[in-house]
């Protein structure tokens, strides 16, 4: 297991007060639900410290400003904004997916109802733009534009992901495009937004954006590998979890699109309607592996990450921030890779 990068330890001290100040603008009910979602209060409303997620996107945003030669605080409105957009998408996704638990706590919709989750998500999305546009920096509009595009891509990815459930066949390109939207777009915006706020030249912004994109796709590739072969003790999910739902994840899509008997057998199995048993799940995992899905996904993740790192090395970035970005990207992707 990779050690937690220091950028993730540092980000909380800066981010949390700014995030709380932003949420103070919301109506009482949306603020309560958001505070619960972020782990600051429990279901009864008592103060808690469940920490929420790892804040990798805000950490990227602060490093992004530093990479462009500015102080990390310059990226802070961006850090708050990307965290708000990320959590908007979690609130709506949990509802759409019917997930009752997130990080071992009840999800907002399951506790406060569907309307609560819809409205609180909406409020976080609107607030993200407001925080950026009110930060008083002349570069705020460019940052807000970057974020609104990323949000559109994020939504496109989610729409595409849901459409896969109703389709017998998806191509690898479609699957990568989906991951680029659902996971890559906001990580890309996170890695670039600090530099945009700092007024960095377009070559610097583009290199950072490309890095975030590749980190996102690489993360999704490894996450999908873990979804099939991951150790339940580490993933916190049942073994073969993604196969159980017959999800067309990246390694599965790769395997499906190869020639050979494993692919044919896998396609037949995926279109079967019944609940699979453990023997079937093991067999399906073996088929994906035999068709090269696992090897490809790991190699592709490595290739993507190296592509992103190369872009960072070619750009005129602050060297210390560059190394921290590479450490953070490696941490995001490198879950027992």
Contacting residues toward its own copies, per CB under 8 A: 25-27, 29-30, 88, 92, 95-96, 114-115, 118-119, 121-123, 125-127, 129-130, 133-134, 140-141, 144-145, 148-149, 151-152, 155-156, 158-160, 162-163
Least distance CB 148 / its own copies (angstroms): 4
SS3 247: coil
Least distance CB 142 / its own copies (angstroms): 8
CB 57 within 8 A of CB 187: yes
CB 135 within 8 A of CB 77: yes
Least distance CB 312 / its own copies (angstroms): 27
Task: Name the residue nearer to its own copies (CB basis): 7 or 160.
Answer: 160
CB 127 within 8 A of CB 152: no
Task: Name the residue nearer to its own copies (CB basis): 86 or 240.
Answer: 86
- Which DSSP category does 106 fall into? E
Classify the phi-psi angles of 292: left when phi > 0, otherwise alpha if psi is within -120 to 50, otherwise beta. Answer: left
CB 224 within 8 A of CB 297: yes
Task: Name the residue nearer to its own copies (CB basis): 198 or 332.
Answer: 198
Dist. CA 188–CA 179, nearest whole Å: 12
Dist. CA 292–CA 212, nearest whole Å: 26
Q: What is the sign of the dihedral through the CA atoms of 120, 121, 124 and 125?
A: negative
Task: Name the residue nearer to its own copies (CB basis): 37 or 240.
Answer: 37
Least distance CB 192 / its own copies (angstroms): 15
CB 81 within 8 A of CB 150: no
Task: Name the residue nearer to its own copies (CB basis): 162 or 316.
Answer: 162
Task: Name the residue nearer to its own copies (CB basis): 183 or 263.
Answer: 183
Cβ atoms < 10 Å from Cβ of 227? 22
Task: Name the residue nearer to its own copies (CB basis): 138 or 319.
Answer: 138
Least distance CB 97 / its own copies (angstroms): 9
Dist. CA 126–CA 132, nearest whole Å: 10
Least distance CB 39 / its own copies (angstroms): 22
Least distance CB 111 / its own copies (angstroms): 16
């Amino acid at each position: 297991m990779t050690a937690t990068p220091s950028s993730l330890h540092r980000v909380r001290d800066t981010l949390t007060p700014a995030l709380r100040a932003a949420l103070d603008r919301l109506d009482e009910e949306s603020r309560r639900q958001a505070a619960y979602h972020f782990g600051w209060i429990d279901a009864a409303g008592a103060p808690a410290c469940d920490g929420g997620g790892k804040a990798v996107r805000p950490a990227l945003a602060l490093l992004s400003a530093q990479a462009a030669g500015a102080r990390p605080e310059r990226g802070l409105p961006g850090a708050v904004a990307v965290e708000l957009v990320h959590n908007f998408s979690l609130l709506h996704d949990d509802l759409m997916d019917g997930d009752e638990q997130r990080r071992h706590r009840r999800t907002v919709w399951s506790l406060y109802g569907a309307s609560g989750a819809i409205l609180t998500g909406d409020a976080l999305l609107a607030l993200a733009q407001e925080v950026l546009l009110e930060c008083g920096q002349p570069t705020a509009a460019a940052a807000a534009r970057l974020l609104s595009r990323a949000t559109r891509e994020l939504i496109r990815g989610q729409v595409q992901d849901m459409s896969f459930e109703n389709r017998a066949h998806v191509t690898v390109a479609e699957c990568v495009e989906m991951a680029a939207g659902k996971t890559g777009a906001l990580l890309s915006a996170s890695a670039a937004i600090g530099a945009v706020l700092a007024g960095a030249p377009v070559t610097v912004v583009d290199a950072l954006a490309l890095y975030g994109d590749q980190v996102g796709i690489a993360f999704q590739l490894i996450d999908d590998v873990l979804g099939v072969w991951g150790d339940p003790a580490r993933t916190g999910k049942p073994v073969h979890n993604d196969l159980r739902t017959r999800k067309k994840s990246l390694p599965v899509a790769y395997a499906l699109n190869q020639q050979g008997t494993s692919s044919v057998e896998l396609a037949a199995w995926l279109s079967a309607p019944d609940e699979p048993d453990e023997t079937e799940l093991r067999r399906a995992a073996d088929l994906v592996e035999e068709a090269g899905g696992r090897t490809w996904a790991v190699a592709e993740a490595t290739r993507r990450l190296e592509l992103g790192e190369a872009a960072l090395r070619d750009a005129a970035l602050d060297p210390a921030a560059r190394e921290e970005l590479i450490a953070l990207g490696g941490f995001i992707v490198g879950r027992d890779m």
